[in-house]
Amino acid sequence: MNPPLDPDLLRAATVLSAALGCGLLVGIERERRKGSGPTRALAGLRTFTLTCVMGAAAALSGMTGLVVVGAAFVAALGVVAYARDQSDDPGVTTEVALLLTYLIGVLCTWRLLPAAALAVGLTALLAARERLHGFATHWLRPAEVRDGILLAAVLLLLLPLLPDRPLLEGALNPQRIGQLLSLLLLVQSGAHLARRLLQARHAVVLSSMASGLASSTATIATLGLSAREPGAAVRLLAGGGLLSCVATQAQMVMVAAAVMPAWLPHVGLSALVAGALALVMGLWLVHGAQEPVAADGPMATPRIEAQPGTASGTDRMFSLRGALAVAALLTGVQLLVHLLQRWLGDAGLLAGVLLGSLADLHAALAAVFSEGPPAPVAERAVMLALLAHAASKTVTAVLSGGRAYARWLAPGLWLHTLAGVALLAV
């Protein structure tokens, strides 16, 4: 009978094998870019593999000093290689990757899965050099870089610093307001990037839904004005207006998730069904229309005019001023509904929601959600807000685009709204 395997020996073999695989993975990619002659890079396949195994072996020895000495040795190699680099464009990518590969080997002794994931991520990052450089230097526009930095500052610096405590008897919460602002900026940024990636295809569908993320009512009004122009594709424009309502349903779920997640089970199915109906009927209107529309025609997302000395409006990922205004509107309506409810009770809640939904649906919904978990009165308030907002959109369609535009738009608008309300009532 064979004696059982030593567990320590089995663990050491597993760790070293994992380190060997991680080193080979990174090393193969570096070997392809190593070059030859006096300008060749510091390390290739064998060096990266041995470095990773060395890190694992040092960590397996249990001597912390040996691990530190190994890291210092690899770092010193990188410094020497950089000093002797004779290429026209010296960089430290390989040197840094070599040190990180050593640390991956060390990490293999504690957590194999994170070590393997780090090796795969490092290899993918190294392999995507040309695409990343092209993305950073050619595809990204200066205004997008600035907006990206600002967005990162809001998400990583401002949002964690906001206090998470209720104010004014629970009517306001700075952390929730910051989350709403972050959500608005993320939605605008995603819509902007989507337009840039897909602007050559499906411009009608994409631009309408992207504009709806900012304001579905404004999108319907803008397309309605275009529908009054001679020879306008009224059915196509009405389909775009209906597609903007898909964003309305998506934002209702986003607001619930940001303000009061307990509402998600109540509004999730309603928003899904209503959004699906709006999407299907909007696509039917768009694809059934005979008149083609160019990507930069009336169906394109309305552009923001740039101020003198600033970047073009289409280069901006988001409008911080607009997002702040929307967040202020959400907060103001939320406070108004809270005060009306304290003054008039349930009738005040319904009255506040009705008034708020005529101006902005999501502000009214945020006010309802912030009052607490779902309750019968609050659910009726949400249904009232959806109906009032649909009526507001219908009036907007008639005033902006005329009866022909409203005739194409209104059936789908009310069908998906009533379906969503009916599911909320169940």
Give the residue numbers spanning the domain of 116.
7-136
Q: What are the tens digits of pLDDT across the range 407-418?
A: 999 999 999 999
Long-range Cβ contact pairs of 171-180 (< 8 A, separation 24 or more): 171/334, 171/335, 171/338, 171/339, 171/370, 172/331, 172/334, 172/335, 173/370, 176/258, 176/259, 176/370, 177/327, 177/330, 177/331, 178/154, 179/258, 180/255, 180/258, 180/259, 180/327, 180/330, 180/331, 180/366
Residue 192, exposed/middle/buried by CB under 10 A (0-12, 13-18, 19+)?
A: buried
Q: Return the closest-CA partner of residue 367 out of 357, 358, 375.
A: 357
**Mean pLDDT for the chain overall:** 75
Q: Are residues 172 and 308 in the same domain?
A: yes
What's residue 350's pLDDT? 57
Q: Are residues 128 and 149 in the same domain?
A: no
What's residue 305's pLDDT? 36
What's residue 198's pLDDT? 56
Q: Looking at the domain assignment, is residue 342 inside a domain?
A: yes
What's residue 303's pLDDT? 39
Distance of alpha carbon 351 from alpha carbon 367, whole angstroms: 12
> Above 80 in pLDDT, residue 102?
yes
Q: Are residues 227 and 150 in the same domain?
A: yes
Distance of alpha carbon 82 from alpha carbon 80, whole angstroms: 5
- Dihedral through CA 40, CA 41, CA 44, CA 46, nearest 10? 90
What's residue 330's pLDDT? 54
Q: Looking at the domain assignment, is residue 331 inside a domain?
A: yes
> Above 70 in pLDDT, residue 322?
no
Q: Which residue has the tokens 């080193």?
A: 23
Strands (E), 33-160: none
Show which of 136, 168, 190 is a domain's final residue. Answer: 136
What's residue 130's pLDDT? 79
Q: Looking at the domain assignment, is residue 2 inside a domain?
A: no
Q: Are residues 276 and 154 in the same domain?
A: yes
- Dihedral through CA 313, CA 315, CA 320, CA 322, nearest 10? 40
Phi first, then psi: what are they for 172, rounded to 5°?
-130, 150
Q: What are the tens digits of pLDDT across the range 269-314?
A: 888 999 999 999 988 888 776 544 444 443 443 333 333 334 445 5
Q: Are residues 129 and 219 in the same domain?
A: no
- Global confidence as pTM: 0.51
Q: Are residues 89 and 204 in the same domain?
A: no
What is the count of structural domains for the chain? 2
> What token pair was written down for 82?
């950089």
